[in-house]
């Protein structure tokens, strides 16, 4: 089957070099049993490539299952993949087959494989190397013949350096890598995709398809599309349904595009290439750094505030000279109340007494508070809350149990 026929069968649109190369690799590796690792951002269509590989393989008449590793809680992921015996844990009222047993002789697609716990990664490595697994709560070794196709929107090689992903598993999965390009890297395909989606929605809603003017196409191509093909499809549907004029210009199209693209939580900036950069193994270490930095800044501001209260003329002098106050304050002795933490009485008509109170530095309390706020904001929806917090849904589930947070 040639590439164009495969595109037509699976609804793939575009002729960019990156997409063509990814399809070529998928077609060539399909009729083997090699493990495949599909890399690409969220929304580029990685699962479609897993279906292409399975449908062109000798296993095409056997079972296929797609598993989102990030959506399964850490406490149940082993049971889902490998099965469990009756009574092996609380709630295991009967024995259960796992995916590697039910999909025997077929293909399993493990999406977001970077979210697998390290213990599960070790068990998966045994499946890949020996075709063996053990049910949870059992000591009996069972055999399976399953082809594994994995996908990730993270840099798994970087994860191996920080200890979040097993290096041996990475190289075992990465036998054949396939890189699906982001939509912003295949700009020539964006108008074609939009037109296809617009025609599909016009048929669904029984209305004429929207047409883009030249300046609207320029707006479409210049937008970075952080959500990739999935986001483009959503925008095409919005324009098809909500646009009163079926000929859409650039100004009209901009109303449907987000004004900004931002991350909701702070992240560590990458240093220049070749420099030594400390890797943080998890989000708690990042929180530690952030909160201690904030604590340091707040303490410095308090010290400056009391220096000004004791010497008001200093503030006026600095105001008129437009010079930084911080350097001068460092040369002067600190007030006794700040040094000792004792109450300090100021000769001021408006301020009678101040007592320094040490605020809590508990990272667990702060983390718990952030999770509760995110859940309230999204009305208990875990997926939306985890996205807002910048963590996976599985990680959020684990922290809900850890902090005993009721939804």
CA of 311: how far to CAs of 317, 318, 334, in Å? 11, 12, 12
Residues in a beta bridge with 132:
143
Tell me, rounded to whole angstroms, the distance of Cα 346 from its chain centroid.
51
Direct distance between the N- and C-terminal alpha carbons of the chain, in angstroms, rounded to an integer: 51
**pLDDT, the chain, mean:** 82
> Which of 181, 197, 230 is the last residue in one of the domains?
181
What is the average pLDDT across 191-207? 94
> Which of 133, 150, 181 is the last residue in one of the domains?
181
Together in a domain, 90 and 217: no
Together in a domain, 161 and 76: yes
Together in a domain, 95 and 32: yes
Is 266 part of a structural domain of the chain?
no
Is 269 part of a structural domain of the chain?
no
Together in a domain, 168 and 291: no
CA of 154: how far to CAs of 113, 165, 185, 206, in Å? 9, 11, 17, 40
Is 276 part of a structural domain of the chain?
no
* pLDDT at position 108: 98
At 241-278, the pLDDT tens digits run 999 888 999 999 999 998 754 444 444 444 444 434 44
Distance, CA of 39 to CA of 150 (rounded, Å): 9
Contacts of 365 (CB under 8 A, 6+ apart): none
CATH number, domain containing residue 211 = 1.10.8.60
Is 274 part of a structural domain of the chain?
no
Per mean pLDDT, which range of 68-72, 133-137, 305-309 is the poorest? Answer: 305-309
Together in a domain, 59 and 145: yes
Is 91 part of a structural domain of the chain?
yes
Per mean pLDDT, which range of 152-156, 331-335, 385-389 is the poorest? Answer: 331-335
Residue 311 lies in domain: 283-354
CATH number, domain containing residue 123 = 3.40.50.300
Share of the chain residues as helix, strand and coil, in percent rounded to the nearest 5: 50, 10, 40
Q: Which residue has the higher pLDDT, 287 or 75?
A: 75
Is 249 part of a structural domain of the chain?
yes
Together in a domain, 141 and 19: yes
Per mean pLDDT, which range of 39-48, 113-122, 390-399 is the poorest? Answer: 390-399
Q: Report residue 211: phi and psi, to 5°.
A: -120, 140
Together in a domain, 48 and 159: yes
Over the range 48-67, which residues count as b (16 or more CB within 10 Å of their CB) and which as e?
bbbbbbbbbbebeebebeeb
Percent of the chain scored above 90 by pLDDT?
A: 58
Is 278 part of a structural domain of the chain?
no
Q: Which residue has the higher pLDDT, 291 or 336?
A: 291
> Which of 181, 199, 224 is the last residue in one of the domains?
181
Q: Is 165's pLDDT higher than 50?
A: yes
Is 261 part of a structural domain of the chain?
no
Together in a domain, 107 and 43: yes
Contacts of 211 (CB under 8 A, 6+ apart): 246, 247, 248
Q: What's the number of domains the chain is made of?
A: 4
Together in a domain, 168 and 190: no
Together in a domain, 205 and 320: no
Together in a domain, 70 and 108: yes
Together in a domain, 199 and 228: yes
Q: What is the DSSP letter of 137?
A: T
At 338-393, the pLDDT tens digits run 444 444 444 444 444 444 445 555 677 778 888 888 888 888 888 888 888 888 88
* pLDDT at position 32: 95
């Amino acid at each position: 089957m040639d590439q164009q026929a495969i595109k037509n069968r699976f609804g793939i649109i575009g002729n960019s070099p990156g997409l063509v190369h990814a399809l070529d690799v998928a077609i060539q590796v399909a009729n083997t049993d090699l493990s495949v690792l599909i890399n690409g951002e969220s929304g580029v269509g990685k699962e479609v490539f897993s279906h292409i590989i399975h449908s062109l393989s000798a296993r095409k008449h056997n079972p296929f299952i797609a598993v989102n590793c990030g959506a399964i809680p850490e406490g149940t992921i082993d049971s889902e993949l490998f099965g469990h015996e009756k009574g092996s844990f609380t709630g295991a009222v009967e024995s259960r087959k796992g995916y590697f047993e039910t999909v025997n002789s077929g293909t399993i697609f493990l999406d977001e494989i970077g979210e697998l716990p390290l213990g599960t990664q070790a068990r998966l490595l045994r499946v890949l190397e020996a075709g063996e697994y053990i049910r949870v709560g059992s000591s009996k070794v069972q055999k399976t013949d399953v082809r594994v196709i994995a996908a990730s929107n993270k840099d798994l090689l970087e994860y191996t350096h920080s200890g979040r992903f097993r290096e041996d598993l990475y190289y075992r999965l990465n036998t054949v890598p396939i890189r699906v390009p982001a939509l912003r890297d295949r700009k020539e395909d964006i108008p074609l995709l939009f037109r296809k989606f617009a025609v599909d929605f016009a048929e669904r809603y029984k209305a004429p398809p929207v047409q883009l003017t030249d300046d609207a196409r320029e707006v479409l191509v210049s937008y970075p599309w952080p959500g990739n093909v999935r986001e483009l499809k959503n925008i095409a549907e919005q324009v098809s349904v909500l646009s009163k004029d079926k000929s859409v210009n650039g100004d009209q199209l901009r109303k449907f595009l987000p004004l900004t693209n931002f991350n909701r939580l702070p992240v560590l900036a990458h240093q220049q290439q070749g420099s030594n950069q400390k890797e943080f193994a998890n989000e708690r270490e990042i929180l530690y750094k952030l909160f201690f930095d904030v604590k340091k800044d707040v303490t410095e501001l308090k010290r400056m505030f009391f220096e000004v209260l004791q010497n008001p003329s200093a503030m006026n002098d600095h105001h008129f000279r437009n010079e930084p106050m911080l350097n001068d304050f460092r040369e002067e002795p600190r007030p006794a109340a700040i040094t000792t933490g004792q109450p300090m009485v100021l000769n001021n008509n408006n301020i009678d007494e101040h007592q320094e109170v040490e605020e809590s530095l508990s990272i667990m309390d702060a983390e718990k508070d952030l999770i509760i706020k995110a859940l309230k904001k999204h009305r208990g929806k875990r997926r939306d809350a985890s996205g807002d917090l910048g963590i996976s849904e599985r990680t959020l589930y684990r922290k809900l149990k850890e902090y005993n947070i009721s939804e």
